[in-house]
Structure 1
Amino acid sequence: MIFVFDLDGTICYKGQPITEKILHVLECLQVNGHTVIFASARPIRDMLPILNPRFHAYTMIGGNGSLVSENGQLTYSTSFTSHQTHSIKSLLNEYDATYLIDGEWDYSYTGSPDHPILTQVDPARLAKMVPLEAHEAIVKVLVLTANAMEQLADKITLLDVVVHTHRNENVLDISPNNIHKWAALKKLNIGREQYIAFGNDANDISMFKNAAHSVMIGYHEELAQYATEAIPLEENIEDKIVEKLNYLSTIYN
């Protein structure tokens, strides 16, 4: 069976690398004939530092599905159209927004130097912070602040893009249309009910909808209706995840 894991808030927490306890059980899945895929809102660049280097050749879905890396190489990328890019830039300016914007590798950032999200951006110094105009293509936009966030969200939605609102962080997460984790899985020739999904947020809904089995970590109201089961986000969360993976590995073998 294929096991697909979101990262932040699912198998790693507060921007810290995945622990050896979780990494060990993921390796056991592979040894037992399963396949492990990581699927995150982070770009590939920012997935690497929280994964031990021995996992860097695993298949990774980044940018909520806009990027795919296989065997350590970027094999798939989808960006906003030139019209969408121009319109998003205009709206960001109109609403005096601050943002984190990702190209395929480098990024642009205009937020506060002490914004907590900055601790998760390129911690391994693998990329460069560049002016917005320097990107040949843009694959993901995070709006951190704006004069009227709800109005901005409404206008950006009209551009035929995918917009997620992360309530806990109060940011807008914007991706090109038809870009989500399930779309990326299909690009990898993975079909409906051919995988097990672990996730914790709204951007995991598409892959939960099409999974053979889905496990929600913590609680998210929108995601909950598509989850097969949930594991409470408690102090012993990693032990519970290991226990669940060992069980699922056996029944889906």
Structure 2
Amino acid sequence: MIKMLVLDLDETLLRTDKTISSYTQEILKKSCGAGIRIVFATARPFRSIKHLMDQTACSTAVYHNGAAVLLDGESAETSRIPARDTANILQTLQVKYADKKLAAEINDKIYANFDVITIWGKTQKEREILEASSIWTDFSDLPEADADKIIIEIDSEKEYEQIQSLLTPDLYGQLSDGKTLCLVMHRNATKLNAIKRIAKRLGIARSEIAAFGDDYNDIEMIKYCGTGVAMGNAIEEVKQAADTVTATNNDDGVARYIEEHILR
């Protein structure tokens, strides 16, 4: 019996236009009503998922790819990048790759050397959120606070490997967005680690968890959870790791699987 649903957001629960269909909202609310725990697991910051949690009655989230956890509306745990390491990495990269788009998430603000709205402001809601939270910088004036993640534009896997060589042992890089981004995080900050902590706290067994995803940072959790579900639009590596493949995000693949196989 499934007691917890772990849902990636972009290209999984969300349609390409970054919305959740009314059908999917209804199915998620039915799942909550049946006593099933809904957990969002995303690389997004909290500010860009709060309205989605409100739409779906979701009270638990793994965000910043596992760097932070919200459980029943309260912050549970964090695994962040030390402030000194954040500044060193970004300043080194800015010298080594002068034209690279770079950003850091700190205290629910995004510090970047480019206009983030042009890249991530795909909807009016997202543009409003970014306008209120983005700060242009050359990274010489970052606040003295630990970062949830560093975001680095990459052009090749060779570049990704070069970036990995700059990281301290307690940090790691994760490919994202079709290998166009490298997300740098604390080594403890993974979706899977956060899911394990949530499940342990709630007394939910591995076999009682179903996870849905589409991208590289979903592979670990899809392999680990009792039921791993790849989206029809997922990359091939995710499909190979999953137990089954559902419909695409634009065809409400998450909700269809839940209705047909879990809420029977």
Q: Using the alignment, how far apart are the partners of 1:126 and 1:116 within structure 2?
A: 13
C-alpha contact (below 8 Å) 2:15/2:249 kept by paired residues: no
Equivalent position of 2:39 in the other structure: 37
- AA aligned to 2:82 is T
C-alpha contact (below 8 Å) 2:89/2:167 kept by paired residues: no
TM-score computed with the length of structure 2 as normaliser:
0.81
Equivalent position of 1:68 in the other structure: 69
Out of 85, 97, 103, the position equivalent to 1:100 is: 103
Q: Using the alignment, how far apart are the partners of 2:218 and 2:163 within structure 1?
A: 20
Equivalent position of 2:15 in the other structure: 13
Report how far residue 93 of structure 1 moved: 1.8
Change (3 A) 1:209 1:122: farther
Report how far residue 111 of structure 1 moved: 2.1
TM-score computed with the length of structure 1 as normaliser:
0.84
Give aligned-pair identity as a percent: 19
SS at match of 2:15: coil
Pair 1:204 & 2:204 matched: no
What are the superposed Cα offsets for residues 91-150 of structure 1, whole Å, 9 maximum, x if unpaired? 322222322311131121222466322447564369533454125110111113579834
Change (3 A) 1:198 1:89: same
Q: Using the alignment, how far apart are the partners of 2:260 and 2:48 within structure 1?
A: 30
- AA aligned to 1:144 is E
Equivalent position of 1:246 in the other structure: 259
Pair 1:141 & 2:150 matched: yes
Whose helix fraction is larger, Structure 1's or Structure 2's? 2
Q: Using the alignment, how far apart are the partners of 2:205 and 2:163 within structure 1?
A: 32
Alpha-carbon RMSD: 2.8
What are the superposed Cα offsets for residues 133-172 of structure 1, whole Å, 9 maximum, x if unpaired? 1251101111135798345433245654222222536111
What are the superposed Cα offsets for residues 36-85 of structure 1, whole Å, 9 maximum, x if unpaired? 11110101111123x16254661011001001112333232221134532
Residue segments in structure 1 that go unaligned for 5+ positions in a row:
none
Change (3 A) 1:112 1:119: same
Pair 1:222 & 2:224 matched: no
Deviates more, 1:60-69 or 1:223-232: 223-232
SS at match of 2:11: coil
Residue segments in structure 2 that go unaligned for 5+ positions in a row:
none
Pair 1:117 & 2:131 matched: no
SS at match of 2:80: coil
Change (3 A) 1:57 1:12: closer
Pair 1:168 & 2:178 matched: yes
Report how far residue 5 of structure 1 moved: 0.4
